[in-house]
Amino acid sequence: MKKYTDQEIIQGIKSGESFAVRFLVRDFLPVIRYFISKINGNEEDAKDIFQDALFIIIEKIYNNDLVLQGTLSTYLFAICKNLWLMALDKQKAAKNYELRRSTGHHENDFTESVDSGFYENIFKQCFDSMDEVSQKILKMYWMEIPPTEIARKLGYTYGYVRKKKSESMKELKNRIICHTDYKELERNLNIKQPISKYYE
């Protein structure tokens, strides 16, 4: 396969030419795979991160938002690196939370469980009121099923799944914030529990 300039790749993506994405996968996925393998990741992690980064770049190109300070490969690597480091942070936070639960280190257990119960009830009401497609996509994301696999299982395009997931997250957050009981809890009990823990 021949080499392409950054401008040729960008123009190819804009025009929907398959060679552009194939070239990026061939030339840059091995680099990302090596990087992630050195920081507690595996091949599946590398593929998922690379696909997410590629989607971000494609979206920026389509929206004419792509601004390169250096080369396209450097930009792609930076996105992959940031995505992977954020994923590691989430994994670490989840492990710490499970450790605290398993060792029984809880403060104000009764109060926290009551507050959590209120919020979980609000969350369930808001989630159940959403359309079926949104529910399916969010559930599969929360199960950590890769976007490409979600698209395959539901019969949608990868781009649609990513867009629908983002829209559904925002909709769920807004439904929770606007929920009557949520507002009442915030006002009367002065609870400032981050709702993000339920929908991220």
Neighbouring residues of 165: CB distance < 8 A, sequence distance ≥ 6: 137, 138, 141, 147
Q: How confident is the model at residue 30, as a pLDDT?
A: 92
Cβ atoms of 32 and 50 within 8 Å: the answer is yes
Q: pLDDT tens for the chain, 200 residues: list them.
A: 578 888 999 998 888 888 888 888 888 899 999 999 988 888 888 998 898 888 888 888 888 888 888 888 888 898 898 888 888 877 776 665 455 555 554 444 444 444 455 667 777 888 888 999 999 998 888 887 888 889 888 998 988 998 898 888 888 888 877 877 766 655 544 444 444 443 44
Final residue belonging to a domain, choices 91, 121, 148: 91
CA distance 9 to 130: 39
- The H or E element containing residue 96 is helix 72-103
CA distance 79 to 92: 20
Domain presence at residue 132:
yes
Cβ atoms of 1 and 26 within 8 Å: the answer is yes
To the question of pTM greater than 0.85 for the whole model, the response is no
Q: How confident is the model at residue 100, as a pLDDT?
A: 54
The residue segments making up the domain with residue 48 are 6-91
Specify the CATH number for the domain of residue 121. Answer: 1.10.10.10
Task: Give the count of domains, the chain.
Answer: 2
Q: By 3-state DSSP, what share of the chain in percent is helix, strand and coil, each rounded to 5?
A: 75, 0, 25
Specify the CATH number for the domain of residue 83. Answer: 1.10.1740
Domain presence at residue 23:
yes
Final residue belonging to a domain, choices 91, 124, 145: 91
Q: How confident is the model at residue 96, as a pLDDT?
A: 59
Final residue belonging to a domain, choices 91, 116, 132: 91
The total number of residues written for the chain in this structure: 200
- 115 and 86 inside one domain: no
